[in-house]
Amino acid sequence: MSTLPAIIAVDWGTSSFRLWLMSNDGTVLAEHRSHEGITEVAERGFETVLEKHLSALQVPGTLPVVICGMAGSRQGWVEAGYIDTPADVTTISVNATVVPGVARRVIIIPGLAVRSLTEPDVMRGEETQLLGAHLELPGGERYCMPGTHSKWVSMNGAMVTGFETFMTGELFATISAGTMLVHSTGGEGQVDAQDPAFLTGVRDGWTRPEKTTHHLFSIRAGHLLHDRGIEENRARLSGLLIGAEFAGAGIRGGEQIGLVASGALQRLYHAALSECGVTVRDIDADVAVRRGLVESWQRFSNRSGDLKRT
């Protein structure tokens, strides 16, 4: 183990690109972030964008690159497939896809799939975050990974036994900006995790999820009849959707949940879970994904080593 540059770790999503130059003991030596998500990059070429960042950092051409996220989807760089649950989170990366036809060694981590006929589900990128979270907080049985598409993962040791995705973040964005609620909730603006309207929304969404689409309309009516303000309405909308997610995930008071999140989302979900009596163990999402990427590379290269030895 040393703090020399050893691995380039990349989380390449639909709308964002995050790259870390890491030593193999997990130290962050440099970081690059941009909005060059796969949608934008598809035309310019993935290798071009990646090498632009690497040459800015003067990274030697011998360093390997490990990528997670939507870069491994059908619309991404190279399709990296899915591993089916139940799956050992520590061995996902042994099935990583090596990007062909590039000078550098580049691997993309596969996603996870619940191949159920009635309630199929997929994740891509979160499996790597989850590996990091599992290493940060071993023994956790449930992890909540909030976001555009929030993931709730059940684990037994290192085994992912199942997971469910909720469209919470995307619904919040779409409903607040793309329906008549735009007049009552505004198109943008941060929600305060301690706003009573947020916490009441969480409770209402959690205890009466079947009323959610009614409660949404009621926000508009409260604006018309009681002159309720944009900020309060926006907080309630956020709370209602997060509360409905909790109902769907079946959280119970007294339960312990690993919350893999950072920034504003971490504050909102931490406050919301606490409001429902859940014991929250926070795991920083950035730390988790970096740790997951480094571990993934090590597992992958060890496997290659094993293969060579046989």
Residues within the interface to a copy of itself (CB under 8 A): 74, 82, 113-115, 117, 119-122, 149, 164-168, 170-171, 174-175, 178-180, 209-218, 220-222, 224-226, 241, 244-245, 247-248, 250
Smallest distance from a copy of itself to CB 105, Å: 28
Nearer to a copy of itself, 225 or 307 (CB): 225
Contacts 24+ apart (CB under 8 A), 231-235: 231/186, 231/189, 231/192, 231/195, 232/195, 232/197, 233/181, 233/184, 233/185, 233/186, 233/197, 234/176, 234/185, 234/186, 234/189, 234/191, 235/191, 235/192, 235/195, 235/197, 235/198, 235/201
Nearer to a copy of itself, 127 or 284 (CB): 127
Smallest distance from a copy of itself to CB 152, Å: 9
Q: Could you tell me the two tokens for 258?
A: 């690993």
Smallest distance from a copy of itself to CB 157, Å: 25
CA 193 to the chain's CA centroid:
20
As a whole number of angstroms, the distance between CA 13 and CA 97 comes to: 17
Sorted by sequence, the CB contacts under 8 Å of residue 66 that are 6+ apart come out as: 7, 8, 9, 10, 93, 96, 106, 107, 109, 293, 294, 296, 297, 300
Smallest distance from a copy of itself to CB 166, Å: 4
Nearer to a copy of itself, 213 or 279 (CB): 213
Q: Could you tell me the two tokens for 59?
A: 């990274």
Smallest distance from a copy of itself to CB 78, Å: 16
As a whole number of angstroms, the distance between CA 2 and CA 24 comes to: 6
Smallest distance from a copy of itself to CB 69, Å: 15
Q: 137 and 300 in contact (C-beta within 8 Å)?
A: no
Nearer to a copy of itself, 41 or 171 (CB): 171
Nearer to a copy of itself, 215 or 291 (CB): 215
Nearer to a copy of itself, 93 or 168 (CB): 168
Smallest distance from a copy of itself to CB 61, Å: 35
Nearer to a copy of itself, 4 or 224 (CB): 224
- Cα dihedral 288→103→98→88 (10° resolution): -30
- For 28, the enclosing helix (H) or strand (E) is strand 28-34
**Cα distances (angstroms) measured from residue 230 to each of 174, 184, 214, 220, 286:** 16, 5, 18, 10, 31
Smallest distance from a copy of itself to CB 259, Å: 18
Nearer to a copy of itself, 32 or 203 (CB): 203
